[in-house]
Amino acid sequence: MDSKPIINRIASQMKKHLSSESIAIMAKQTRVHLINSLGGFKSVALVGTSDKQGNTNLAIFSSIFHIGANPPLMGLIFRPTPPERNTFNNIIETGYYTLNHINEGIYRQAHQTSARYDKEVSEFEMTGLVPKYKDSFFAPYVAQSNIQLGLAFREKIDIAINNTTLLIGEIIQLYIPEDCLYEDSFIDLEKANTITCSGLDSYHKTVQLDRLSYAKPDKEVTSLIF
Amino acid sequence: MDSKPIINRIASQMKKHLSSESIAIMAKQTRVHLINSLGGFKSVALVGTSDKQGNTNLAIFSSIFHIGANPPLMGLIFRPTPPERNTFNNIIETGYYTLNHINEGIYRQAHQTSARYDKEVSEFEMTGLVPKYKDSFFAPYVAQSNIQLGLAFREKIDIAINNTTLLIGEIIQLYIPEDCLYEDSFIDLEKANTITCSGLDSYHKTVQLDRLSYAKPDKEVTSLIF
C-alpha cells in the first residue's frame, strides 16, 4: 500500500484546534495524557539504582535525552512529587545509575515498575527483572536488557518554572550486542530490539524507513542503505 | 514469527563493552554517532521560526522532551556552536516557535533542513516544506505536518558542563487530526503518521505493541486495547 494518499488525507483533513485556555481547564489526567503525547515518540528506559546499603530500585523513565557527545552526557527530568524519589535519592547519594533499554520481551514488566511500591520493596523483585552487577559498577543493570549504560552523576539543575529537576549524567560504561554496532558506530536499535513509547502507556516497536546521508545545501540527501 | 527467541538470543549473546577511556579516544564523528544512538529512539520534529522581518527558518531537532503538563512545557537542547543559531536567535528575539511532527511523506525534506544554509536562505523554500500561519500566531507551522504545536518561550537555562542551552517553551496552540485524538486525550501518533529517529540519520515508523493500564503494586498490568 502506498502511504502517500494516507498522509495527504490526514494533512488535509479536519484538525482539532486547542489553545492555552482549553488546555488549562482540562481535567488533570486528561491533560497529562494529552501533553505527554505531544512531543512524539520518546526514548524510554529503566533506571537502575541502589542505596548505600545495597537496596535496589528500578524505575521506568521516558524523559531521557541526549545532551552532548563529548563528554557523553544524558539528561533525565524528575517531577517534583514522590513517584521517582527513590531513584533520585539513590543517584544523589551514591553518584551512580544505569540506563537499560527496554525490548519487546520486557515492556510489561518495565511498565509495572511505575507502580508506587514502598521504599523497602525492590521493583526488580516485584517484576522479575534481574539485577546484574558488572565491572565493579555500583548500580545494578537489568540482565534482560540488550543495551545497558552505566552513568556517573554530574550536575543537578532545578527548573524553577514548574519545580522539576534535570539530572545530568556521564556515560562511563556501556554494553551493546556486538552485531548491532556498525563500523561508523551507529547502533542498530531495531536489531537490539529496543522499543519506544508514546503518551503515558503506549509501547511501540519500529520499522526503519531509511538512513540518510549528511545534508549539504547544494545536494539532495541520499539513502545510506539501499 | 515469535519474537521471544530473538530477544533471548540477543540478551545472551556477546556484548561489546566500552568504558570512558575508549569513548574518549574515539574519532569525533564516530563518537557522535555512538552517543547519539545510545538514548534510544527519539522525538524528532521541525522547529519553525521567523525573525522580526518575517524571514522564516526551519530546523530539525531530536533533542525535544516533555518537562511538565501543567503548564504544558517542552524542552529543547541547543549546541554551543552555530548550526541552529538562527532558530535560537529567532526564539529569543520574537518569543515564539512551532514544533511540527515529521511523517513518512516529509522525512527526507526534514533531514535536508539540517544542511548549513546561509542565514538569508529559508529552509522552507529550499526543501519544499510550506510555511503556514494560523490564528495570528507569530511563527510559521509546516503545512505538511499532521501534528503542529505553537509554543511561547518561557525560560533559558545554560548547562555549564558542556556549554549547551536548554530552552523551555509553553504549548499555547495545538492542532491534531480529529480522528487521532482519543476520548482520554491520548493521541494516536501512529495514526497521525508521526515517525521517530535514532542516531543522527536513521528514521523509523512504528508498530504499536500495546497500551497498558495504570500500574498498581498489587495488580498485573492489563492491555487497554485487546
User: CB A16 to CB B195 under 8 A?
Assistant: no
Mutation site, B10, B200, B222, interface A, largest A CB count within 10 A? B10
User: CB B184 to CB A23 under 8 A?
Assistant: no
Residues 6+ apart with CB under 8 A from A107: A195, A203, B209, B210
Question: What pLDDT shows up at residue A103?
Answer: 98
Provide the shortest C-alpha distance from residue A226 to chain B (in Å).
13
Task: Round to whole Å and give the CA distance between A199 and A40.
Answer: 8
Phi/psi at B127 (5° precision): -110, -10
Task: Give me A199's grid cell.
Answer: 503518551
User: CB A201 to CB B212 under 8 A?
Assistant: yes
Q: How far is CA B15 from the centre of its chain?
A: 29
Question: What pLDDT shows up at residue A35?
Answer: 96
Provide the shortest C-alpha distance from residue B49 to chain A (in Å).
17
Count of alpha carbons within 13 angstroms of residue A57, beta-carbon side? 27
User: CB A74 to CB B38 under 8 A?
Assistant: yes
Q: Which of A153, A171, A134, A175 is nearest to A87 (CA)?
A: A153
SS3 state at B121:
coil
Burial class (CB in 10 A: 0-12, 13-18, 19+), B128: exposed
Q: Which of B208, B203, B76 is nearest to B149 (CA)?
A: B76
User: CB B77 to CB A79 under 8 A?
Assistant: no
Alpha carbon distance, N-terminus to C-terminus of chain A: 20
Give the E-state strand segments of chain B in sequence order. Answer: 15-19, 45-50, 56-61, 64-69, 72-78, 96-101, 131-132, 141-142, 148-159, 164-177, 196-198, 202-211
Task: Round to whole Å and give the CA distance between B180 and B190.
Answer: 9
DSSP codes of every residue in B44-73 = -EEEEEE-TT--EEEEEES-EEEEEETTEE
Q: Are A76 and A166 in contact (CB under 8 A)?
A: yes
ipTM > 0.90 for the complex: yes
Give A206's contacts in chain B (Cβ within 8 Å).
41, 196, 198, 204-207
Task: Round to whole Å and give the CA distance between A111 and B209.
Answer: 13
DSSP A7: H
Task: Round to whole Å and give the CA distance between A171 and A96.
Answer: 10
| pLDDT tens digit at each of 226 positions of chain B | 334 444 444 555 689 999 999 999 999 999 999 999 999 999 999 999 999 999 999 999 999 999 999 999 999 999 987 567 899 999 999 999 999 999 999 999 999 999 999 888 999 999 999 999 999 999 999 999 999 999 999 999 999 999 999 999 999 999 999 999 999 999 999 999 999 999 999 999 999 999 999 999 989 999 998 6
Task: Round to whole Å and give the CA distance between B68 and B73.
Answer: 5
Chain B, nearest residue to A208 by Cα? B204
Question: What pLDDT shows up at residue A11?
Answer: 52
Question: What pLDDT shows up at residue A80?
Answer: 86
Closest Cβ–Cβ partner in B72, B111, B189 for A41: B189
Question: What pLDDT shows up at residue B141?
Answer: 98
Using alpha carbons, list the distances in angstroms from residue B226 to A37, B2, B61, B208. Answer: 21, 18, 34, 12
Size of interface A-B (CB pairs under 8 A): 428
Give residue A88's identity as a one-letter amino acid code.
F
**CA geometry: angle at A219 spanning A217 and A225, to 5°?**
120
Chain segment A119-136, per-residue pLDDT in tens: 889 999 999 999 999 999
**Average pLDDT along chain A, 226 residues, taken 10 residues at a time:** 43 82 94 95 98 96 95 95 82 98 97 92 95 97 98 97 96 96 94 97 98 93 88
pTM listed for this prediction: 0.93
Q: How many CB atoms lie within 10 A of CB A179?
A: 13
- DSSP H or E run through A37: helix A28-38
- DSSP H or E run through A57: strand A56-61
Closest Cβ–Cβ partner in B29, B112, B160 for A221: B112
User: CB B208 to CB A203 under 8 A?
Assistant: yes
SS3 state at B82:
helix
Number of H helices, E strands in chain A: 6, 12
